[in-house]
Structure formats: structure tokens, C-alpha cells
Structure 1
């Protein structure tokens, strides 16, 4: 289903024939040979770098290779011209029939058009969100949730066996802070004034938790020492917060396969097991670290610690896994958690972290490299901040959370589809401006509306064609005569659709779902541009008096709709059939 892959295979076959004839050396590495759209569409339909990448190892001039390859390629009926450009790039022009056949391919494949086998059925774990269970998720978590979920869908579409996972950070001191905050709301539920000291969580979202505890336990814990109620309140509050988080994720259309608990690692021997594995590799030792950067030796008190020799696996410095008081550092359970993922048999691990975790990347990669003996790669995606605005003015406060705008606030303002698409209009490591007024505008400057409008326009012409008696079922349209689709504007639209499988592979290999959103915006722009041309050129309109001609043009429109729908499905966005 990937026309670019088909033509690359043709190029490789022609190169192999040149090797058999002795024109090229037999031992050339072909992995870097590519077939892509040319930078300038006027240069041709596709371009290959074969002559450029093979010239040096073949000890030949690029143009000599390109000319020999061109002669071979033009013998194939799909190639109408192969032109050598510059120092040795080869521009290819395809027979229009090849492009026209893409429409039938799309309609027969339907939602599966563009599916790839990049993953080859291998197992990948995508861990994302993993917010502390101390309150509702904020707009930054929203972006991480969307990026992680869309990436998981993209990898699934590209042939991976995907597991979506949430790591509950319920083992640290922040959960004790949550319990103390809930205790104040418990007191408030009994008519007492809550004492929300600095460091406690002030949001109103904890009031129902305090009331629920009162309903279940009455005044049993009023005035009691912390030791009497802290464990119970901690467990109760964590469960309540995770229920809230699950509800928020559901509102965004995100469903996790697994929720893993940090707390479950303590007291089970799992942390000790992971570190023992590293110790057996001589990667755990007792030592003293150098002063951190910016600290003078006289301001630094050296002390012996239990360290992970992470520098042996690419880190800048070795990392503590145990504090001087014998308790674990926060890094130790994370090592054990990733060891568990390695033991579960994943071939690839992907972590989606917030921007503030940049300093954590190398040490975690070092741990996974060591624990898997280099077998399992870890890709960490850092999600940059979102600047939430309304009419150009910052939105900073939520009544629900008390200090920040929540995921639920955003979804209630603009809806899940708009939220998801906008969060994917920029690469994950680039800051994102999100204006809740702008993203609801019906204008070409609003990418969500622009793509949805393209899909709605297509469905509009399908309905009108049906009213004229045309069978618009995909199976029927796949058999349409397509030879009349020869106008440069029509062929350009088909070429963009033909690029969808290639874009899927590129995005999946790079772990970059924003590329899908970018492609959809370009495809929508091409559809709208073609539509506008039809305002002046009757022959380019999808609706025609001649049913046979109209059938081919409607097949073109519907195939564009199929690709848009497939792309939106990866992003987790529902296509709109009619704009209101």
C-alpha cells in the first residue's frame, strides 16, 4: 500500500541489476537509498538519492551512476521519465495511471490504508501521564496524555503490540501531604475551620473526600494524633484522586491498559532485586560523589553513599540509590519499576515526561541499558509547557484546583477533539500556545476547524451525489473509471494521499505523532485548494452532470476522506460529517 516503498524496491532492483552487470561493485550498502517527494514539485513526482549515497563507496561519479540507473528505471512502464539533476539526484515522473490507481487502493483498504509493519509485532510499553495522585490533572498533564495516547495509537497502526501504562507515584512524601490536606477537609466537614498551611493542597476538590471520610468514620479521628489516621487517610485519598484522574482521562478519550503502583514496590523485595542485579554487574558500589556543578568544595560535605555506576552506560555522573539514613532515593523504585517492564518482555520502552524531568533522562536510560544488557532501548519524550490563554490573556486559575487550570476545565471549554488536535500541532519538546477562543474560531487559521471542514465538505458532496442517484459505497467507488482524473490539481491531491503510508512510517520510527497532525493540515489545505479551483473550472468540480465522470471524481473525494478519517483516528479525534 506504500507507493514510495514500491518505487524504492524498483530502484533497488535496478541497482542490483547494475551490480550483476558489473556496472556497480557487488558489496554496496543500500540502506541509505531513499525515494521521497522532491523538494520542488515541478522537478517530478519522486526523487532518489541513490547515486549520491553510492558514489563514494562505489568510487564513481554520482552522475555516472544516476544516468545508468535512469536508463534502467525508464524501462519500467510506471516510470515515464528519469531526469538527472545537479550533481546526481534523480527525479522520477510516474505515469498518471499509477497515481490514479492509488484511489482504488485507498477505497479497498479503507481505514487500514497506510498501516505499516514497522513494529513487526514487537512489544512496546508507552508510559505516560503518571501524574502524582494528589489532585486533578493540569493542562501540562493534558498535553502529556494526548501525546502519549496518540503515540500509542500511531505505533499500533505501524505494527507494534502496544501497552499503555500509568505509573502511580504513590510512594513518596507528597502522598503524606495529601493525607494531611484531606484531614483538614475532614475537620471542615465537621464544621471546623480548615487550617490549610503552606505546603498543603488548597483545592476544593478535596472537600468531597473529607465529607466521605466523615460519612464513613464520623468524628472518630477528630483531635487524634497523626499516627492514628495518616495511613488510612493516605490510602483513602489516593484512591479518590486516582478515581478523579481516571475520570479526567476518560473525558479526554484516554484509556490505560495498566496502572502500576510505586508503593507496591516497597517492602516486596522488588527494589532490592533490581539493585542486586546491578550489583552482580559491579554497577552498585559505596562511594563519594564530586560536588555538584556550581557548588564550591568548601560548601560541599562529602559523604559515602550507595551509588549506581550509571556512567558505565552513558550518564554524566553516577547516581545515589540509597540515602545516608538507609532509605531509598526516589531513583531506586524507578529503577525497580523499569526492571519490571524489562522482565515483562517489552522490546521498546517509551516514557513521556514533563519538561522538568530533563535531568532525569540519562540516568533512566543508563538503568534500562544496564538492566536489559543493552537489549531494550528507552526513548524519553519531554513534553514542554502549554501557555493557556483566552483572547490573548493568560488563564492561570481554576476554582476546582485552586492554583492551576485543570484538564477538565480545558475539555469543558473546547471539547476533547479540539483539545487533542491542538495539543498535537507542535512537536512535544516545543512550547505550545493554546488560546481557547482561537481554537473555536471557524477560520483557516484554526487547524482543527480547517481539517474538520475538509472532511465535512467531502461528506457534503457525497450526500449530494447520492441525491443524484450515485452509489457512494467504497466498494462501488473503487471500481470507478479514473482516467479522467488527469488535471495537475487532481494528480497533486492524489500524490498527497499516496504519501500517507510513508508519513506513517516516518512518524512511527521517530515516535512523533505531531507529524500526523501536520500531514492532515497539509492534506486539508490541498482539498480546500482543489475545491476553490472548482469554483472557476467546472471540470474540476466533484459533482458533474455525466455520472461516469462524476463517479471518478467522487471516488477521489471519498478517498481523501478515508485518509483524513484514518489520521484523525490516530490522533483520537472524531471526524465531523457536517459543520454546524
Structure 2
């Protein structure tokens, strides 16, 4: 049940009625007619811009249209009042029976309340994390992992066929550095003193890998040149690191559908095939790029390279795909990887990148646009940095120094539920402060506690009702008489529940799962406000002593809140709690 969609349909029917009686001309486009919550809740329950957007094509004053529309809408039993505001906005106040129906719909549909077929089964590939397999995931990867997983769950709930994918960057020079780092730990396991130089990774996480390698091959690689061991140790170390990364993701509750190896693109003709596809469209040529901005001409050495004409698909400059020495650029395998996604038949692609990949957005979008002839949209979401605090002080990290804060460090201290929720309390492209002390506070300022507390409070009411012999199963609550649900605080909760299906569609359309976290916080706030008012006005308490029927009606509203909170937390990958400890 999406009451906003229902009322918009009512508005469209009323507009058609105005066309039929000659008040409005035929042929009007209703595409931009919307029904949404008013900016100020005091103005009503919903507002429509119909008169404003139709005034010009109808060649009428907006207020005249609004007044005629208000009269039509007032004929429907669902509309209590329809008031014209300002130049022609129309504010609607709905009948209490509408909110009662919303509560009953939430109880009846349960975990499916808010689900839609908006996606129509279209296939979406969400690629996220995709960290280099050179060590455990750090806190920056954590944000991308939570965001990508929650976005995938949101899109699935909205009716899309979603594939969660991890792109293993195992084809570049960094895995050679990993192999050399593991070799040093391998020598160390044999009792040798080693020095980590030339950018090798000194992290302690490689000690166990070096020891395991010793167990596997003994001293076969000791004293041997790099040509003997590099390839085998590279593969061995990459497998070990990917095993570690899978464990990290599992600790966060993230499960990937696909792991795609960059290495599989090399020597298989896949890169060549992707570039041939672009060349067939006249988008590959040999040329010399202009000097980068900020470089003096005398510092610039022009070299002929193989270039992709990405400017024809929205990029600022054309991009090299092959260097003057014949080696592929980093961009070339990424083009091939996305070509593979297009060839696999996805209807849309989403990439979740770290903040440092901002310069990659336009070129990647240009490549997918060119490869798919504009058929497959690519949305790239950048996750900004996470700043860690502990005991009021910044908590620093440095991957190369081997002292970075890992995903497991965070999860072990505060748990996966808190980690996930807090990572979604800011929009993905806004910086996030993660304070280890504050995220465990039991206060309104801690959003995860605030939402969980609302869920737990209702659960405590259900337990007390059961102890008092009051039936509170969903079937009984659905049959409760909600006609006395008239207090503004109760109606505010019901109205917020009614926003849930609309909120989900907006969040899925914009690829913004943080909207779910924000909404849950607001819903929890209204539930807490109603609870607190019950301390002052006994008639608002969920349990009415000696009156099971009224108790069931009030508990039905509270139970509907837990339906939405539970579903919303499920989308975010957070487990709702039954009681606070």
C-alpha cells in the first residue's frame, strides 16, 4: 500500500474530471504532478503541485485550477479538507480512516510492506569494495562495503535482480609487491633478518602467510632469485589475502555473489576485444595528448599513444588505453571489465568507489556509454573518508606502515550492527566521523541506539500485553477498531508509517540507502514522543488497564512501527533487538 501513489491517482482522476467538464483543456501532461509531504506538517498531511505545473499549459491561473481541484477532491471520503495555499499549492488533510488502513496494511503485509515492482526484475550489477588484495580491509573499505551491501538490498526490495560483485585487482604491480613482502616474511620464518624496503608491506598480517608458505614449500625458495618464486608466491599470497578479505566481509555480514579477477582479462583477448568494440565505433585512435593542467610545456614530453575518444561520451579529455611502449594503461582492463558486464546482459551498473577515484568517474561513464551505445547506465557512487576518534582524539591509520585500523578492529569493538548503521548515518559523499565512544552511548544522539530502543520498547509492550492475557498476534491487531486513533501524536506516527513505501522508492531511484537510516531515526523519534506523552496522558498509553479492545487498537499502531523498523534495519543489514541490555 502506497498511500501517496493512491492520492496522486485520486488527483489525476480529479484532473480528468475537470477536463471532462471543460474546466481544463484536453491533452495536459501530468508527468510532473506530484503528491508529497508538505514542508510544514501544520499545513496538512499531503500537498500537490498540480495547479502550479498545469497553469501554463492550461493557460489558467494556478489558484483557479487549485480551487476547482480542491472542490473535486473534497468529494472523496479519503479527503477531509483541501485548502489552497499561496499562489496555487493545494494542501490536503486526510480522514483518520486512511491512517487506520495504513496501519492495518503494515500488519497484514508484514516484511513485504513497502515492497514494489519498481525495478520490474531488471538486472543490476553493484560492484563494491574491490580493494587491492594486499591486506585486510581497512575502515575506509568498511564504509564502501556497508554502503554497497545496503544499496544492493534496497534495490532488491524495490524489485530489481541484483548481483553483488567484487573486482579483484590482481593484475597490477601491487600484487608483485605483495609477493615480495610475503617472501620477506617467508625468509623471516626461516630465521633470517629482513628489511622492508621499496614500498613493500610491513604489516604483521603477513607473518602468518610467510609461515604458512614455509610449511608448504619448506626451504625451496630460500636464496632463490625472484624469477623462481615470484609468480607462484603472487598467486599463493593473493589467495590468502582474498580468504582474509572474505572473512572480513563475513564479519560485517556481507556476502558477494561474484568475485571477478582482473588477472583473467590479461592474455585472454578480452582487453583486445573491448578495445576492438570501441574501434569499430571510430573511438580508438593514435594521438598525442595535451600537457596536463599545471605542467609547463618544457616539462611535457609528447608521446604518441593509443587513445579512447571519451570526449564523445561526456569526458573532459580523451584517455590513453595503451602506452607508447605498448603496455596497457590501468584504464584498459577496466574498460574490458565493464564491457564484460555489458555483455553479461545487465540493464544497469553501479560502481562504489573510494573518494580518491573521483577523477575516474567521467572516463568510466564514457566507456560504458560507448560500449553499450548508451543503453546501459552507469552510476558511480563515491564514499568519502571516515575519520576515527577514540577517547576524544583522532585515530590515525597508515596502510603502508602496517598500522592501519582494520575493518575487524572496528567490528570487534562495536559489533557489526553498530558499524553498519553508523556508516549509513551520512550520505555517501559526505565525510563521516566515527567516534568509538559515542556510537555505544545510550542516548538520542546515538541513532542506532535510538532506533533499536524504539523497537525494543514496543517489544516490551507486546510481552506485557501477553502476560496480561491480551491477544496481540497480528491477525487480532488487524481486526482492532482503530477509529479512536485521533490524537495528533498517534496520527503523526501513522502518517510516518505511510511514508515508508514512498521513501523506499525514492531511495532506490536515487541509489541512496542513507535515506532509510534517516527515516528510521525520524520514525523512532515519533514513537518515543508518543510514549513520553503517555506518561502525561494515560489515554495515550499502549496498555489500557481493564480495556483489552482499546489496548489492542493502540498496540496495533506500535506493532506497525516495529514492522517498518525491522524491515528497514534488515535492508541496512542490522538485526533489530528484542530488548535493550
TM-score, normalised by the number of residues in structure 2: 0.99
CA contact (8 A) 1:253 1:416 kept: yes
Instruction: Tell me which residue corresponds to 2:269.
Output: 269
Instruction: Tell me which residue corresponds to 1:115.
Output: 115
Instruction: Tell me which residue corresponds to 1:82.
Output: 82
CA contact (8 A) 1:391 1:438 kept: no
CA distance in 2, matches of 1:349, 1:468: 53
Task: Note if 1:445 corresponds to 2:451.
Answer: no
Instruction: Tell me which residue corresponds to 1:4.
Output: 4
Instruction: Tell me which residue corresponds to 2:571.
Output: 570
CA distance in 2, matches of 1:473, 1:547: 13
Give 3-state SS (helix, strand or coil) of 1:191's partner: coil
Instruction: Tell me which residue corresponds to 1:488.
Output: 488
Write out per-residue CA displacement over residues 338-393 of structure 1, whole angstroms, 9 at most, x where no aligned residue. Answer: 00000111111000000000000000000000000000000000000000111221
CA distance in 2, matches of 1:128, 1:464: 44
CA contact (8 A) 2:201 2:400 kept: no
1:485 deviates by 1.2
Instruction: Tell me which residue corresponds to 1:319.
Output: 319
CA contact (8 A) 1:349 1:379 kept: yes
CA distance in 2, matches of 1:507, 1:91: 24
CA contact (8 A) 1:37 1:46 kept: yes
Task: Note if 1:554 corresponds to 2:551.
Answer: no
CA distance in 2, matches of 1:454, 1:413: 24
Task: Note if 1:404 corresponds to 2:414.
Answer: no
CA contact (8 A) 1:135 1:401 kept: no
Give 3-state SS (helix, strand or coil) of 1:534's partner: helix
Instruction: Tell me which residue corresponds to 2:175.
Output: 175
Give 3-state SS (helix, strand or coil) of 1:499's partner: helix
CA distance in 1, matches of 2:7, 2:254: 38
Task: Note if 1:306 corresponds to 2:279.
Answer: no
Write out per-residue CA displacement over residues 237-274 of structure 1, whole angstroms, 9 at most, x where no aligned residue. Answer: 00000000000000000000000000000000000000
Instruction: Tell me which residue corresponds to 1:366.
Output: 366
CA contact (8 A) 1:153 1:570 kept: yes
Equivalent positions of 1:162-201 (< 5 A) are 162-201=162-201
Task: Note if 1:513 corresponds to 2:513.
Answer: yes
Instruction: Tell me which residue corresponds to 2:48.
Output: 48
Instruction: Tell me which residue corresponds to 1:424.
Output: 424
Gaps of 5+ in 1: none
CA contact (8 A) 2:79 2:93 kept: yes
CA contact (8 A) 1:151 1:511 kept: yes
Task: Note if 1:94 corresponds to 2:130.
Answer: no
CA distance in 2, matches of 1:392, 1:400: 25
1:25 deviates by 2.1
CA distance in 2, matches of 1:271, 1:428: 31
Instruction: Tell me which residue corresponds to 1:225.
Output: 225
1:397 deviates by 4.7
CA contact (8 A) 2:202 2:400 kept: no
CA contact (8 A) 1:205 1:401 kept: no
1:20 deviates by 2.3
Instruction: Tell me which residue corresponds to 1:436.
Output: 436
Instruction: Tell me which residue corresponds to 1:156.
Output: 156
CA contact (8 A) 1:151 1:512 kept: yes
1:22 deviates by 2.4
Task: Note if 1:331 corresponds to 2:353.
Answer: no
1:402 deviates by 2.1
CA contact (8 A) 1:127 1:165 kept: yes
